[in-house]
Structure 1
Amino acid sequence: MSTPGAGGGPARLDGPVEVVGTGLLGTSIALACRRAGLEVLLTDVAEEHLRTASQLGAGRPRRPEDAPQLVVVAVPPDHLGAVIERVLGEGGRDDAVVTDVGSVKTGPLEAVAAHPRSHRYVGSHPMAGSERSGPLAASASLFDGRPWAITPHSTSDPDAVELVERLVEVCGGARVWLTPQEHDRAVARTSHVPHLLASLAAGRLAEAPEHHLQLSGQGVRDVTRVAAGDPALYGQILSANAEAVLGLLGEVRDQLQQVIDVVGSGDREALVRVLEAGVAGTRAIPGKHGGPPRPMASLWVQVPDHPGELARLFADAVASEVNIEDLRIDHDLAREVGQVELVVAADRVAHLHTSLESRGWVTHG
């Protein structure tokens, strides 16, 4: 694998940058490049998406005589390999570096490995997105602070790797270097299998009686949120990463059988050990800004469902001089009041509780 930064000097991303595929990710990359003052060329088989992205200021349609410095392929997973191969071989792009932003890296690489210009290809993958799709959901700030994997292969040109690094910087992402194989195992563990498990949990709700669903709280919303993603898109992603996903699903299957056995046996200590493993997993997730996890605690605050109440709560939290690390809102079904969960450093939760209670808020820990 090429060593990042091993070229003869720092590569400069001067443009033009061509974006092939003007959905959520492609249009967001184009907007970020325009934010940096780069010329952006747009290509898409969907004329409506191309027109919308252009009207949003993401760039202009590419003309045959245009010669981009960098091409970013942002098409659905089923088409990635074929489009990357076509872009590598088309006239006008002979010297261009090509990257893609697909969520699986080994498949596209296999599709282009034998291409004579495969050394100009460097895979990448920003860990950012939304349940929404299409250019109207795009934002120039979508990647700000988000991890962005760069996955060079063994024959990638060092200058090509550096140019993709510059793209990540322009888009505000945080660079992470992985081999294509490491990347696919990583996203199977952190994204693809969790998505499947969320879908299974959500699927049980679709069959539930209505009076059961009235007991739904924030916990079930948290567990099932990602299951609302586009099934057709995620079907492509999971199929493309089948080998890595299957390996982890086999482990989950074995663990699920162990859970069934433990619950059936009534072995409370064994059940606690299963739950403790889950706690350990949550603590392994990197903390804010990628640092080590910090002990956190939650304080729930009753908030009347009226205009301005959230703003008042936030102002009172600021006056308490406690930094809010995260928050969630759960609405009471039977009352016009919501429960706002404020997540703060564990050593500050008692102070926040006292401060908010003194300002008239009803709280509980």
Structure 2
Amino acid sequence: VRAHGLQQRYVGGHPMAGTAESGWPASFAELFTDAVWVVGTEDDADPQVWTAVARLALACGSVVVPAEAAEHDRAAARISHLPHLLAEALALAGAGGGDLALNLAAGSFRDGTRVAATAPALVRAMCEANTDALLDVLDETLVVLTAARDQLADQRSTVDLVEAGHAARQRYEAATRWTITDIRPGEPDWVTRLRDGGRRGGVLREL
């Protein structure tokens, strides 16, 4: 886009919605209803083009999260791409236990491996297109798992990981989206203000 001088006419968008299924049979009318739809908010964004893309997302029933592309990539690596890799690893661990392990598998295994049912080509496309950000969070996660493994070996305990993970999950469940208001594309500092709002958990519900 930049190579052809089209950056001011381009606004990226990423609806954070979907299932482990693929293709048209997996679609349904309410797919985007109440979903989060990231709209790329770059320094050189054209306010009219940005508004058109954001209104498309709103028309689909989604809420809009303004975010700069690199910040979006880092966030997506944590909450989308890494979970795919962890689900694949968990599926392998279960299968490694043979038929008995798979026969005993219930809710935690099913839920933890759900996205491993996604078409491999799609998973690869998502993860490999975001290699740098994914490597960073994968390394971070390996450090956490190694520390948990060491604590289990040395103290026969998983307390640090389990307590921290439980608290992190509670933070996710308690998170609320607040509505960004009084910012109009094209007014002074609109890009900076919208990005700041998105960074702090704000969403646009109308324009």
Same structural fold, with TM-score higher than 0.5 when normalized by the shorter chain: yes
The answer on whether the counterparts of 1:131 and 1:228 sit within 8 Å (CA) in structure 2 is yes
Q: Which residue of 1 aligns with 2:68?
A: 179
- CA offsets, 1:157-213, max 9 Å, x none? 110001111101110001101000000000001111111111101111222221222
CA distance in structure 2 between the aligned counterparts of 1:267 and 1:164, rounded to whole angstroms: 53
Deviation by residue 1:216-270 (Cα, 9 ceiling, x = unmatched): 12111111111111111111111100000000111111112111111111253xx
| Equivalence for 1:227 | 116
Question: Structure 1: which 4+ aligned runs deviate by more than 3 Å?
Answer: 286-291
Matches within 5 A, 1:60-71: none
RCO higher in 1 or 2 (8 Å CA, sep ≥ 6)?
2
Q: What SS does the aligned partner of 2:4 have?
A: coil
Bigger-Rg structure (1/2): 1
Question: Mean alpha-carbon deviation: is it higher for 237-246 or for 222-231?
Answer: 222-231
Structure 1 residue aligned with 2:4 = 115
Pairing partner for 1:254 from 130, 143, 153: 143
SS of the aligned residue for 1:176 comes to: strand
Q: Given residue 273 of structure 1, which amino acid in structure 2 is its aligned partner?
A: D
Q: Structure 1 residues 246, 288: closer, same or farther in 2, change over 3 A?
A: closer
Secondary structure, in 3 states, of the residue corresponding to 2:5?
Answer: coil
Residue equivalent to 1:280: 167
Structure 1 segment 271-350 matched on structure 2, within 5 A = 271-287=158-174, 290=177
CA contact (8 A) 2:144 2:161 kept: no
Does the CA-based 8 Å contact 2:95-2:101 persist in structure 1? no
Normalised to the residue count of structure 1, the TM-score between the two structures is 0.47
Q: How does 1:14-53 map to 2 (within 5 A)?
A: none
Deviation digits for residues 306-326 of structure 1 (CA, Å, limit 9, x no counterpart): xxxxxxxxxxxxxxxxxxxxx
Tell me the alpha carbon deviations over residues 39-98 of structure 1, each in whole angstroms, 9 at most, x when there is no partner: xxxxxxxxxxxxxxxxxxxxxxxxxxxxxxxxxxxxxxxxxxxxxxxxxxxxxxxxxxxx
Asked if 1 retains the 8 angstrom alpha-carbon contact of 2:33 and 2:60, the reply is: yes
Say which of 126, 129, 140 aligns to 2:15.
126
Alignment of 1:169 with 2:21, yes or no, is: no
Task: Tell me which of 30, 51, 68 is aligned to 1:141.
Answer: 30
SS of the equivalent of 2:121 reads: helix
TM-score (norm 2): 0.80
Percent identical among aligned pairs is 38
Flag structure 1 segments of 5+ consecutive residues without an equivalent: 1-111, 292-365
Name the structure where strand makes up a greater proportion of residues.
1
1:156 aligns with 2:39: no
Q: Give the SS at the match of 1:139.
A: coil
Cα RMSD for the two superposed structures = 1.7
Does structure 2 conserve the Cα–Cα contact (< 8 Å) formed by 1:140 and 1:171? no
Q: Deviations over 1:90-131 (max 9, x none)?
A: xxxxxxxxxxxxxxxxxxxxxx11223321100010000122
Question: What is the rounded CA distance, in whole Å, between the counterparts of 2:48 and 2:105 in structure 1?
Answer: 53
- The one-letter code sitting in structure 1 at the alignment partner of 2:164 is A
Aligned residue pair count: 178
CA distance in 1 between counterparts of 2:124 and 2:4 reads 28
Instruction: Give the alignment of 1:79-98 within 5 angstroms.
Output: none
Q: What is the rounded CA distance, in whole Å, between the counterparts of 1:173 and 1:124 in structure 2?
A: 12
Higher normalized helix content (fraction of residues):
2
- 1:150 Cα deviation (Å)? 0.5
1:285 alignment partner, SS class: helix
Matched, 1:208 2:97: yes
**Are the counterparts in 2 of residues 119 and 157 from structure 1 also a CA contact under 8 Å?**
yes
